[in-house]
Amino acid sequence: MNLQNAKIAVLGLGYVGLPLAVEFSKHRSVIGFDIDLKRISELQESYDATLEISASEIEAAKELIFTSLIDDLHDVDVYIVTVPTPIDEAKAPDLARLREVSKMISGVLRKGNVVIYESTVYPGATEEVCVPILEAGSSLVLNNDFFVGYSPERINPGDKVNTLTTIKKITSGSTEVAAKFIDDLYKSIISAGTHRVSSIKVAEAAKVIENTQRDLNIAVINEFSKIFNLIGIDSQEVLEAAGTKWNFLSFKPGLVGGHCISVDPYYLTFKARMLGYQPEVILAGRRINDGMGVYVATRLIKEMSQRGIRIDQSRILLLGFTFKGDCPDIRNTQIINIFRELKAYNAMVDIYDSWADRSSVKSEYGVELVESLTKGHYDALVLAVDHSEYKLWGEGKIRALGKSNHVLYDVKHSLPAECSDIRL
């Protein structure tokens, strides 16, 4: 295949797929495909609900076509898959969408085509799950008629510094020739360069341990925070003191949500169990981080009770619902666990977040966000997400929302230590 003339289709136009499609379209013809008709309609109007790509960037992408029609994919040379790979209620990998898109591609796959997967999977999934679907639906044979590769996404939603082109890209392919082609393809857009590995499994494994390592580091800091709270010392001050040593790793306690860090460890542990190994440390970290929402709620209830506030007659405001600051992404947000735990105590709980899409929050979590706030209305205020908006408000504007005897809980350390009543 001629690299310069290769026509690309990116399947899945979310936080990962859209930036990729836009960047590739600066150099070649690209089809952006998604089954979400609303998403396609918005993109055709140059609006990106994820706020990763501006209207001007979409309008400038003259070689990019958005579609939800399978028939538009018949003349494609390279298929890049960026669909979500979440976990189910049992914390097991949910590969339904990966299977669906592989079956879809199999219906249009031609000899000489290349299929590249970017979705997070466990090591071996591309060759064990996706390839058989591609072969069965196309009657083609891997490495004889078509080729596959894996190049894990490393997008950090909301990050305007570490963007697609400035993050080194891991690449791999099912043969040496395919691996080189895929590596050269990404080199054409990634200014930070690429890192080509020897096999697809290595690339898959690298992806899951990146976020698993970060998850574990945050988990141990969260455990430190719990201990320091019992001792009665400020965890942030302890971490700053420990951080004066050159080799102390800089992590903060917090709520671990989103589509990567809170999900990827379960993909690795799933594979480990398939092979007869029972992981311990990874799952221990997950238990700690998964339980932080309930911990935050319980600590708030304790503080309110000590002040004589009747919990079942109280009003509590959660400031923030997205999984991270200055980002509209609500996937796997831990704020919902705080909300549900407080509701279990019969408290009346409001959530305010100008970044989150109200209809998405309602459809996914069954929660109505409040649109406006009333002064002197709340018994407790929880700074749950570190949006810049709340930092600009400052202690005065935030406390003005509370009653005279309210509690201010700064989960994200958005304010100076002396401004809040309790911190994580």
Kindly list the catalytic residues: 260
Strand, coil or helix: 177: helix
SS3 labels along 16-71:
CHHHHHHHHCCCCCEEEECCCHHHHHHHHCCCCCCCCCCHHHHHHCCCEEEECCHH
104's tokens:
């879809």
Residue 381, phi then psi, degrees to nearest 5: -125, 125
Give the residue ranges of DSSP H helices in 45-175. Answer: 55-60, 96-106, 125, 131-138
The length of the chain in residues reads 424
Rounded to whole angstroms, the Cα distance separating 263 from 256 reads: 10
Measured torsion, CA atoms of residues 193, 197, 199, 205, in degrees rounded to the nearest 10: -90
* Amino acid residing at 184: D
Q: Which residues are CB-contacts of 273 (< 8 A; sequence separation ≥ 6)?
A: 279
Rounded to whole angstroms, the Cα distance separating 383 from 42 reads: 32
Query: Per DSSP, what are the bridge partners of residue 350?
Result: 317
Rounded to whole angstroms, the Cα distance separating 167 from 161 reads: 10
Long-range contacts of 27-30 (CB under 8 A, 24+ apart): 27/188, 27/189, 28/4, 28/63, 29/63, 30/61, 30/63, 30/64, 30/65
Which has the closest alpha carbon to 68: 42, 48, 98?
Answer: 42
Long-range contacts of 127-132 (CB under 8 A, 24+ apart): 127/174, 127/200, 127/201, 129/95, 129/98, 129/99, 129/102, 130/98, 130/99, 130/102
409's tokens:
């809980």
Residue 141 DSSP label = -
